[in-house]
Structure 1
Amino acid sequence: MSPMNEETKGQGAPRLGRGRDWILGGTLLLALLAAVHWSIGWGPLLAPWRELSPWLLGWLFLLTALSYALRAVRVHDYFRPRFNGQFPVVLRLSILHNTANNLLPMRAGEFVFPWLMRRYFGHGLLDSAAALLWIRLLDLHFLALIAILILNLSHPSWIWWGLALLWVGGLALVVLVSGMGETARLAGDGKIRSIIRRVLLAAPGDHWLVARVYGWTALIWSLKFAAFTSLLRFFLPLDLWRLLAGVMGAELSSVLPFHGIAGSGSYELAAVAALAPLGVDPKLALAGAVNLHLFLLGSTLILGGLAFLLPKSAGKAAVSQAFS
């Protein structure tokens, strides 16, 4: 069966997780509810919200919303000129994809991206998934750069600056790898070779495109970390590097082998695991992580709801321009 036929089979709704994923996710959610109830109490945990300035909350939400919008800018730039004139549709796609990622268990939300790419733009499922893989690799690359920043803040040294420069310089490998798609001799059967080749071809091959996409990635995560560390500081008055480490742990919960419904349980566990070794009381760390997660979920639901107001298509004129 050809790759195109395989993609055609996936035109229906995306797979939103297996039954056991939802069972495990539900178990994590119940475990979190029980842990908070018996160790802290929901009343004491939520009480600090009454003291939080509405202006500060609105500002942090604005930063978070801007980071969501920049994700759409990144996708739009990545697939240029195919999406020229269709940014509102790309914005809808990007926000719904991130909403699904934040709400569905076991990262099932990632399947929404290629599904919406096919539904809105007729883009191939495998090609969309391959492009998303490269975007996620750039995300992880920049998160590693933030980790180097945390190390420098905790133990200042010129070594970290040198390591950061080397790490950023490694982005040149993306351009080199992208050129291997047509010429590389790949092992394995025909189907595996075809998939690997399409992944290589989906890489941003132009060095200016790599620089732009990485720049958008840096802005996206900088805004999100600025908003989340500011909010976490309200609940946990810690040093900046510890706050960054806590947010980093929470964000990296997505790479755990288990991921709860709406990240519940896994998000908090990862944050506590990052903060507890740094001398933060686990109960305080848990309270801060839960409140941070509530802000994330609230922002997700608001922005996800607003995304449905955006158009699903840009009209025939824009489509003609995009493919000209």
Structure 2
Amino acid sequence: MKSNQDARRDLWFKRSLMWLVTAATLVGYVVFLQLAFGLCTLARQVAAIGVLQLIVALTLLVITYGVRCWRVADYFPSETKGQFRRLLKLTLVHNLLNIMLPLRSGEASFPLLMRSEFGMPLSRATAALLFMRLLDLHALLAASGMGLVLGQGAASWAAALWLAFVLAPVPLFALKGSILRLAGRLPERLRVLVREVERGLPAGPAAFFRAWAATLINWCVKVVVLAWVLRLMDVAPFAASFGGALGGELSSVLPVHAPGGVGTYPAGIVAGALSFGAEASPASLAIIGKAAVNAHLLILISAFVGTGIAVLLVPQKRP
């Protein structure tokens, strides 16, 4: 039999494995960046943007985390009333874990944190998270579709398809009641679960439209800021900067996600920029590659800064 010390060591290793993998990945990433671009070269590209522009970009990115927190607070007004600072910390810790842990495993922290901080059932918090993630993905795909429509010369058929996709959540939400009524035929234990899932969805049209509006505002601000930063780092034309911002963010909401977004986020930026008109010459790819890495680092810094601010603001004892 294993001794208690061996059992504790095994338990610590299992709990720490993801963080060890993340730390090893980040160290390997830094070594790769030094060999591929040179850390000093990357730093000079960032310095060329200007301190004021960097502060503005960082501030706007941190503000988007506040919009996400408001969306959750509006989702659960009775449970989170008067607890915005604590909810902000929860939202930002969840965001940081989601960025740093591989394969979207950080998503599991949201229902666990909502249960520990606000006593919310896991099924209800999970249903709310799934709905919000669907809204996030829809907003990003709608933004990508807008670029494709412009690429078609704003043809009427392309614009009509794009508009239909943009408005698709409205009829789907309208069918929520009919879909949930079908659950009445399920066994009692499953009906209890469905009722918890229903409580995790917007209560009515007004709540739905507020969540939808907050999602659009959040992603519009974030994508525009990233596109602006990429343009400041000589990613041209602006459509390519816009496409790069979309590509990076799409890589962050898809299931295939490396620890810290290492590799996947910059690759998404490069792919998006090329898809939206950037040149594929070696010189252009070198510029886009360096800009993609620095934009990714800006996202990581904003996540750490936002979490640090939330930790400082939150009360130390639960009310």
TM-score w.r.t. the length of structure 1 is 0.81
Letter in 1 for 2:163: L
Structure 1, unaligned runs of 5 or more: 1-15, 317-324
Q: Provide the secondary structure at the position in 2 that maps to 1:70.
A: helix
Q: Which residue of 2 aligns with 1:299?
A: 302
Give the direction of change, closer, same or farther, for the CA distance of 1:195–1:266 in structure 2 (3 Å limit): farther
Q: Provide the secondary structure at the position in 2 that maps to 1:232.
A: helix
Contact residue 71 and residue 214 of structure 2 kept, 8 A: yes
Q: Which residue of 1 aligns with 2:80?
A: 83
Give the direction of change, closer, same or farther, for the CA distance of 1:21–1:57 in structure 2 (3 Å limit): closer
Contact residue 178 and residue 205 of structure 1 kept, 8 A: no
Contact residue 235 and residue 287 of structure 2 kept, 8 A: no
Return the alpha-carbon distance in structure 2 between the equivalents of residues 29 and 186 of structure 1: 50
1:57, CA displacement in angstroms?
Answer: 1.1
Which has the higher mean CA deviation after the structures are superposed, 195-204 or 46-55?
A: 195-204
- 1:200-223 deviation line (CA, Å, top 9, x unaligned): 452224111111110000110111
Q: Which residue of 2 aligns with 1:207?
A: 205
1:229, CA displacement in angstroms?
Answer: 0.9
Contact residue 134 and residue 203 of structure 1 kept, 8 A: yes
Q: Which residue of 2 aligns with 1:55?
A: 52
Q: In proportion to residue count, which structure has more helix?
A: 2
Letter in 1 for 2:165: W
Give the total of aligned pairs: 299
Q: Provide the secondary structure at the position in 2 that maps to 1:85.
A: coil
Letter in 1 for 2:166: V
Q: Which residue of 1 aligns with 2:173?
A: 174
Contact residue 69 and residue 91 of structure 1 kept, 8 A: yes
Give the direction of change, closer, same or farther, for the CA distance of 1:269–1:26 in structure 2 (3 Å limit): farther
Q: Which residue of 2 aligns with 1:96?
A: 93
Q: Which residue of 1 aligns with 2:217?
A: 219
Aligned residue runs from structure 1 range 163-312, under 5 A: 163-172=161-170, 173-184=172-183, 195=193, 198-277=196-275, 278=277, 279-280=279-280, 281-311=284-314
1:103, CA displacement in angstroms?
Answer: 2.0
- 1:219-276 deviation line (CA, Å, top 9, x unaligned): 1011111211111111133122211211111112235554222111121222223334
Return the alpha-carbon distance in structure 1 between the equivalents of residues 100 and 315 of structure 2: 22
1:84, CA displacement in angstroms?
Answer: 2.4
1:182, CA displacement in angstroms?
Answer: 4.5
1:40, CA displacement in angstroms?
Answer: 2.6
Matched, 1:123 2:120: yes
Contact residue 89 and residue 311 of structure 2 kept, 8 A: yes
Aligned residue runs from structure 1 range 31-70, under 5 A: 32-70=29-67
C-alpha RMSD over aligned residues: 2.9
Give the direction of change, closer, same or farther, for the CA distance of 1:260–1:27 in structure 2 (3 Å limit): farther
Give the direction of change, closer, same or farther, for the CA distance of 1:180–1:80 in structure 2 (3 Å limit): farther
The answer to which structure, 1 or 2, has the higher relative contact order (CA under 8 A, 6+ apart) is: 1
Structure 2, unaligned runs of 5 or more: 1-13
1:37, CA displacement in angstroms?
Answer: 3.3
Letter in 2 for 1:297: L
Give the direction of change, closer, same or farther, for the CA distance of 1:217–1:121 in structure 2 (3 Å limit): same
Contact residue 135 and residue 215 of structure 2 kept, 8 A: yes
Contact residue 49 and residue 233 of structure 2 kept, 8 A: no
Give the direction of change, closer, same or farther, for the CA distance of 1:86–1:232 in structure 2 (3 Å limit): same
Contact residue 177 and residue 203 of structure 1 kept, 8 A: no
Give the direction of change, closer, same or farther, for the CA distance of 1:134–1:55 in structure 2 (3 Å limit): same
Q: Which residue of 2 aligns with 1:11?
A: none
Give the direction of change, closer, same or farther, for the CA distance of 1:190–1:155 in structure 2 (3 Å limit): same
Q: Which residue of 2 aligns with 1:142?
A: 139
Percent identical residues: 29
Letter in 2 for 1:91: L
1:283, CA displacement in angstroms?
Answer: 2.6
- 1:175-220 deviation line (CA, Å, top 9, x unaligned): 3225533443677x88777656643452224111111110000110
Return the alpha-carbon distance in structure 1 between the equivalents of residues 180 and 38 of structure 2: 55
Give the direction of change, closer, same or farther, for the CA distance of 1:75–1:58 in structure 2 (3 Å limit): same
1:142, CA displacement in angstroms?
Answer: 0.9
Give the direction of change, closer, same or farther, for the CA distance of 1:86–1:249 in structure 2 (3 Å limit): same
Q: Provide the secondary structure at the position in 2 that maps to 1:229.
A: helix
Matched, 1:107 2:104: yes
Letter in 1 for 2:113: L
